[in-house]
Amino acid sequence: MKLITVAGPPSSGKTSVILKLIECMNCDKGSIGVVKFDCLTSFDNLSYEEAGIPVQTGFSGKICPDHYFVSNIEDAVQWGVHSGFEMLITESAGLCNRCSPYIRGILAVCVIDNLSGVNTPRKIGPMLKFADIVVVTKGDIVSQAEREVFAFNIRQVNSAAKVIVVNGITGQGAFILAKYLRQAVEIQSLTDTKLRFTTPAAVCSYCTGETKIGAPYQMGMMKKMEFKNL
Amino acid sequence: MTFNDFMMILDSKPLDEVLKEYPIGWDFLANFRLNNLAKELPFSQALLKVDDEALAEFGLDRFEALKTFGVFLEQFTPKENLLEEVKSITISGGWDKSRTPENISLTISAGEIISIVGPTGSGKSRLLNDIECLAQGDTLTGRRILVNGAELDELQRFEMEGKLVAQLSQNMNFVMDLTVREFLEMHARCRLTPNIGEVVAICFQRANQLAGEKFSEDTLVTQLSGGQSRALMIADTAYMSDSPIILIDEIENAGINRRQAIGLLAKREKIIFVSTHDPLLALSAHKRIIIKNGGIAKVIGISEEEKKSLGMIENLDNTMQRLRTALRAGELIHMKDLNGPSF
Interface test with B, best of A120, A133, A144 (most B CBs within 10 A): A144
Whether residue A149 and residue B68 make contact (CB cut-off 8 A), yes or no, is no
Residues of B with CB under 8 A from a CB of A: 27-28, 30-31, 56, 58-59, 68, 71-72, 74-76, 125, 128-129, 132-133, 139, 161-162, 166-169, 171-176, 183, 186-187, 190-191, 229, 233, 236-237, 240-241, 243
Taking only the tens place, the pLDDT of each residue in A111-165 is 999 998 888 888 888 889 899 999 999 988 898 899 989 999 999 889 889 999 8
Residues in chain B: 343
Question: Quick one: average pLDDT of A38-64?
Answer: 87
| Percent of chain A's residues with pLDDT above 70 | 97
Lowest mean pLDDT among A49-63, A204-218, B97-111, B193-207: A204-218
- The string of pLDDT tens digits covering residues A84-109 is 999 999 998 766 666 677 999 999 99
pLDDT band at A204 (very low <50, low <70, confident <90, very high): confident
Using the predicted structure, report yes or no on whether residue B161 has a pLDDT greater than 50: yes
Among B132, B154, B167, B270, pick the best mutation site for testing chain A contact (most A Cβ within 10 A): B167
Cα angle, residue B158 at apex, residues B126 and B176 outer, rounded to 5°? 70
Of A122, A175, A197, the CB nearest to B139: A175
- Across the interface, of B56, B172, B187, the residue whose CB is closest to A142 is B172
Choose the mutation target among B27, B83, B132, B176 for the interface with A, i.e. most A CBs under 10 Å.
B176
Instruction: Check residue B343 and give its pLDDT.
Output: 43
Look at residue B342 in the predicted model and tell me its pLDDT: 45
More confident residue, B242 or A20: A20
Of B169, B172, B190, the CB nearest to A148: B190
Q: How confident is the model at residue B20 (pLDDT cuts 50, 70, 90)?
A: very high
How far is residue A73's CA from residue B44's CA, in Å, rounded to a whole number? 38
Complex confidence, ipTM? 0.80
Give one DSSP letter per residue of B70-138, joined into a string: HHHHHHTS----GGGG--EEEEE--B-TT--B---EEEEETT-EEEEE--TTSSHHHHHHHHHTT-BS-
Cβ-Cβ contacts under 8 Å, A172 against chain B: 125, 128-129, 132
A197 touches chain B (CB under 8 A): yes
Map out the domains of chain B with their CATH numbers: 3-75 (no CATH), 82-302 (3.40.50.300)
The A residues from 139 to 168 touching B (CB cutoff 8 Å) are 139-146, 148-149, 152-153, 155-157, 159-160, 163-165
Q: Strand pairing of B295-301 and B287-292?
A: antiparallel
Domains plus CATH for chain A? 2-200 (3.40.50.300)
Min distance B205 CA to chain A CA atoms (Å): 17
Cα separation of B236 and B82, whole Å? 20
Q: What is the pTM of this model?
A: 0.83
B112, B286 contact by CB (below 8 A):
yes
Q: Is the dihedral of CA B206, B229, B276, B342 positive or negative?
A: negative
pLDDT-derived band at B224, boundaries 50, 70, 90: very high
Dist. CA B109–CA B297, nearest whole Å: 21
Q: Which of A100, A120, A146 to mutate to test the interface with B (most CBs of B within 10 A)?
A: A146
| A217 interface with B at CB cutoff 8 Å | no
User: From CA B168, how far away is CA A170, in angstroms rounded?
Assistant: 16
CB within 8 Å: A118 and B176? yes
Is residue B163 over pLDDT 60?
yes
* Cβ separation A140–B172 shorter than 8 A: yes
Cα B120 to chain centroid distance, Å, stands at 24
SS3 assignment, position B60: coil
Judge whether residue B136 has pLDDT over 70.
yes
CA nearest neighbour of A4 among A106, A74, A101: A106
C-beta separation of B264 from B235 below 8 A: yes
A228 touches chain B (CB under 8 A): no
Closest to B44 in 3D by CA, of B65, B74, B73, B22? B65
Distant-in-sequence, close-in-space partners of B188: CB < 8 Å, separation ≥ 6: B196, B199, B200, B240
Q: Are B134 and B302 in contact (CB under 8 A)?
A: no
Q: Which residue of A has its CA nearest to B171?
A: A141
Rounded to an integer, the average pLDDT of A56-78 is 89
Please write the tens of the pLDDT for every residue from B180-221. Answer: 999 999 999 888 888 899 999 999 999 999 998 899 999 999
Q: Are B202 and B267 in contact (CB under 8 A)?
A: no
3-state secondary structure of B275: strand
- pLDDT tier for residue B256 given thresholds of 50, 70 and 90: confident
Q: HEC profile for chain A?
A: CEEEEEEECCCCCHHHHHHHHHHHHCCCCCCEEEEEEECCCCCHHHHHHHCCCCEEEEECCCCCHHHHHHHHHHHHHHHHHHCCCCEEEEEEECCCCCCCCCECCCEEEEEEEHHHCCCHHHHHCHHHHCCCEEEEECHHHECHHHHHHHHHHHHHHCCCCEEEECCCCCCCCHHHHHHHHCCCCECCCCCCCCECCCCCCCCECCCCCCCCCCHHHCCECCCCCCCCCC
Cβ of A142 and B167 within 8 Å?
Answer: no
The predicted-structure confidence for B275-317, as pLDDT tens digits, reads as follows 888 888 888 899 999 999 999 999 999 999 999 998 898 888 8
Confidence at B254, pLDDT banded by 50, 70, 90: low
* Helix, strand, or coil (residue B212): coil
B321 has a pLDDT exceeding 60: yes
Lowest mean pLDDT among A50-59, B93-102, B172-181, B247-256: B247-256
Kindly report which listed range (A70-74, B35-39, B80-84, B285-289) carries the lowest average pLDDT score: B80-84
- CA nearest to A201 within chain B: B57
Distance CA A198, CA A192 (A): 15
- Closest residue in B to A170 (Cα) is B125
| Cβ pair B62, B48 in contact under 8 A | yes
**Which of B129, B192, B228, B229 is the best mutation test for A, with the most CBs of A within 10 A?**
B129
Chain B partners of A145 at a C-beta cutoff of 8 Å?
Answer: 183, 187, 233, 236-237, 240-241
- Quote the radius of gyration of chain B (alpha carbons, Å): 25
